[in-house]
């Protein structure tokens, strides 16, 4: 996990009251409340709302202190008024949302079971109703959206993929496979590294999958690598790095910045040699229990990408290499000399899952040992 201010809050949100208190002191309560408000703004999908605007005051209590943070929210955008140097006196809030600060940290970045809102109070200051026969304030839908990020959402990965502009559902149909392997990781503070941000040479295009992962993994740092410079997809819990998936010096510098990843997804050049080079470099850096995913394995059969439809087990193709990893799972059972990849990766590859155009490799300790030498099955 990246040890920046957001990382500190995420790590503490799964711990005790004292852990959260320590993190709030380290980050500073004002900055912490701003980061929490930022995350709620991201989760609100404000662009989907009907036209409306409101000034929301977060009044976050911490012992005797109250941190007041004002946000101007409207369809499609939000602005921290404190940042703009606009004082509370100059901007009357339409609504105050009160929270005990430690609970807000847990409600935003905590594991699902810890996300409560027992200390929350919503106080409307402008009560202009939503319609002629209603007593619900006009700003209520906006405020509800802003607070939506404190409760676990019923997120469907396919829907998120389409919303954020990834091709992981629609062109491909990977999202049910990701759900199968990622569901148990959702509540953990983790680091996800995706090779290939998207948009190719256009600096302003791409970033769909980084935004998708940011929403799906509410406690994760999301890091992207692309050979093209990207101005999209940075900020909040997203970090992006420019360089090639085949450059070991660059990859080491990324690892130094983000720490050992829990999940790596290769969705970059899809050239066989690049896929293999990245795996060789990044799999050893993956945390035990981590997952390495390779997308778009159709290119393993296409010569333009260094693939072959004839030599299906060639170790120079992505699928040939990954099939060797299937043998690596049983590295302790081989009687004769094994391909390099079997010896190199066998002790660390726990499982290999193949799907249509996608593979998931699970890292762990694979040293159970074979049957004892006296076992009848080994005789002869
Ligand atoms: C298919 S797009 C990624 C899509 C994105 N992951 C998504 O789901 O929204 C592939 C990206 O990989 C990048 N790319 C190509 N070769 C690369 C390399 N050698 N190293 C890093 N990125 C590369 C391209 O610039 C392109 O933006």
Q: Does residue 186 surpass a pLDDT of 60? A: yes
Residue 297: predicted pLDDT: 98
Is residue 274 in contact with ligand 1, taking CB distance under 6 Å? yes
Asked whether residue 44 carries a pLDDT value surpassing 90, the answer given is yes
Which of 161, 197, 246, 281 gets mutated to test ligand 1 (max ligand atoms within 8 A of its CB)?
Answer: 197
Which residue, of 113, 148, 183, is where some domain finishes? 148
Nearest atom in ligand 1 to 167's CA = 8
| Cβ of 295 less than 6 Å from ligand 1 | no
Residues 59 and 133 grouped into a single domain: yes
Q: Are strands 358-363 and 349-355 parallel, antiparallel or unpaired?
A: antiparallel
In a domain, residue 44? The reply is: yes
Q: What is the pLDDT of residue 242?
A: 97
Please check the confidence at residue 154 and state whether its pLDDT lies above 70. Answer: yes
Q: Which CA distances in Å does 355 have to 135, 164, 174, 253?
A: 53, 24, 9, 32
Q: Is residue 368 part of a domain?
A: no
- pLDDT value at residue 153: 80
| φ, ψ dihedrals at 29, nearest 5° | -60, -40
In a domain, 371, yes or no: no
Gap from CA of 260 to ligand 1 centroid (Å): 21
- Centre of ligand 1 to C-alpha 358, Å, is 16
26 C-alpha to ligand 1 centroid (Å)? 36
Final residue of a structural domain among 120, 148, 176: 148
Q: Going by CA atoms, what residue is nearest to atom 1 of ligand 1?
A: 198
In contact, 103 and 110? CB cutoff 8 Å: no
378 in a structural domain: no
- Residue 200: CB atoms within 10 A of its CB come to 12
Dist CA 342 CA 324 (whole Å): 6
Residues 203 and 138 in one domain: no
For residue 200 and ligand 1, the question of a CB distance below 6 A is answered with yes
**Is residue 352 domain-shared with residue 242, that is, in the same domain?**
yes
Mean pLDDT of 301-319: 97
173 and 254 co-located in one domain: yes
Ligand 1 atom at minimum distance from 165 CA: 9
Say if ligand 1 is within 6 A of residue 161 CB. no
> Is 380 part of a structural domain of the chain?
no
Boundary (domain end) residue, out of 148, 172, 201: 148
Q: Is the CB of 266 under 6 A from ligand 1?
A: no
195 and 102 together in one domain: no
Query: Do the domain assignments include residue 16?
Result: yes
Instruction: Annotate 62-92 with DSSP letters as a single string.
Output: ETTEEEEEEEEEETTEEEETTTTT--TTTS-
Separation of alpha carbons 6 and 42, rounded Å: 14
Active site (annotated) includes residue 270: yes
Q: How far away, in angstroms, is 229 Cα from ligand 1 center? A: 11
- Do 187 and 328 belong together in one domain? yes
Pairing of strands 190-195, 220-226: parallel
Do 199 and 54 have their domain in common? no
Q: How many CB atoms neighbour CB 30 within 10 A? A: 13
pLDDT bucket at 134, cuts 50 / 70 / 90 = confident
Our answer on whether the CB atom of 119 is closer than 6 Å to any ligand 1 atom is no
CA-CA distance, 271 to 306, in Å (whole number)?
Answer: 6
More confident residue, 99 or 371: 99
In-domain check, residue 231: yes
Same domain flag for 211 and 294? yes
Same domain, 291 and 165: yes
User: Domain check: are 26 and 137 in the same one?
Assistant: yes
Residue 235 domain boundaries: 157-363
Ligand 1 centroid – CA 271 distance (Å): 11
Whether residue 139 has pLDDT greater than 70:
yes
Assess whether the C-beta atom of 278 lies below 6 angstroms from ligand 1: no
- Residue 305 CA to ligand 1 centre (angstroms): 14
Alpha carbons 147 and 53: distance in angstroms, whole number: 15
Same domain, 229 and 356: yes
Average pLDDT over residues 164-168: 93
**Cβ of 290 less than 6 Å from ligand 1:** no
Identify whether 114 is part of a domain: yes
CATH for 20: 3.30.1050.30
CA distances from 14 to 17, 90, 151, 220, 329 (A): 10, 37, 15, 12, 34
Atom of ligand 1 nearest to the CA of 228: 25
CB of 27 closer than 6 angstroms to any ligand 1 atom = no
All residues at 6 or more sequence positions from 9 whose CB lies less than 8 Å from its CB, including other chains: 23, 27, 32, 35, 36, 105, 109
Instruction: Give the C-alpha separation, 248 to 284, whole Å.
Output: 13
Neighbours of 162 (CB within 10 A): 17
- What pLDDT digit, counting tens, does each position of 94-128 carry? 999 999 999 999 999 999 999 999 999 999 998 88
Q: What is the CATH number of the domain that holds 296?
A: 3.40.50.150
DSSP 99: E
pLDDT confidence bin for 335, thresholds 50/70/90: confident
pLDDT at 198: 95
Q: Which pLDDT does position 88 carry in this prediction?
A: 53
To which H or E segment does residue 343 belong? helix 340-345
Q: In this model, does residue 84 exceed pLDDT 60?
A: no
Shortest-distance Cα residue to atom 3 of ligand 1: 198
| 366 pLDDT higher than 90 | yes
Of the residues 42, 270, 331, 348, which is catalytic?
270
C-alpha to C-alpha distance for 329 and 339, rounded to whole angstroms:
13
For residues 267 and 326, state if they share a domain.
yes
Give the total number of structural domains in the chain: 2
């Amino acid at each position: 996990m990246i040890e920046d201010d957001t990382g500190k809050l995420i790590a503490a949100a799964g711990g005790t009251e004292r852990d959260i208190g320590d993190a709030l002191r380290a980050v500073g309560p004002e900055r912490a409340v701003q980061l929490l408000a930022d995350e709620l703004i991201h989760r609100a999908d404000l662009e989907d709302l009907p036209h409306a605007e409101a000034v929301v005051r977060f009044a976050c209590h911490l012992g005797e202190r109250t941190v007041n943070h004002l946000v101007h929210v409207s369809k499609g955008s939000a602005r921290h008024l404190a940042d703009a140097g606009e004082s509370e006196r100059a901007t009357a809030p339409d609504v105050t949302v009160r929270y005990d600060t430690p609970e807000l940290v847990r409600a935003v970045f905590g594991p699902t079971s810890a996300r409560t809102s027992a200390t929350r109070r919503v106080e409307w200051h402008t009560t202009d109703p939503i319609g002629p026969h209603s007593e619900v304030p006009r700003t209520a839908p906006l405020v509800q959206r802003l607070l939506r990020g404190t409760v676990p959402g019923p997120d469907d990965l396919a829907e998120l993929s389409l919303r954020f502009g990834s091709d992981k559902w629609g062109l491909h149909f990977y999202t049910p496979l990701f759900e199968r392997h990622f569901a148990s990781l959702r509540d953990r503070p983790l680091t996800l590294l995706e090779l290939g941000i998207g948009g190719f040479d256009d600096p302003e295009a791409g970033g769909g999958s980084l935004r998708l992962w940011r929403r799906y993994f509410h406690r994760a740092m999301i890091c992207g690598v692309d050979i093209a410079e990207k101005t999209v997809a940075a900020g909040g819990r997203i970090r992006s790095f420019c360089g090639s998936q085949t450059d070991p010096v660059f990859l080491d510098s990324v690892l130094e910045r983000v720490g050992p990843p829990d999940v790596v997804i290769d969705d970059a050049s899809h050239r066989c040699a690049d896929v293999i080079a990245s795996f060789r470099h990044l799999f050893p850096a993956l945390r035990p229990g981590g997952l390495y995913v390779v997308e778009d394995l159709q290119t393993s059969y296409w010569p333009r990408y260094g693939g072959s439809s004839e030599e299906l087990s060639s170790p120079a193709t992505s699928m040939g290499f990954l099939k060797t990893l299937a043998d690596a799972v049983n590295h302790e059972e081989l009687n004769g000399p094994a391909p390099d990849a079997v010896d190199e990766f066998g002790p660390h590859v726990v499982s290999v899952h193949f799907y249509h155009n996608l593979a998931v490799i699970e890292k762990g300790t694979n040293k159970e040992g074979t049957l004892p030498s006296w076992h009848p099955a080994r005789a002869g």
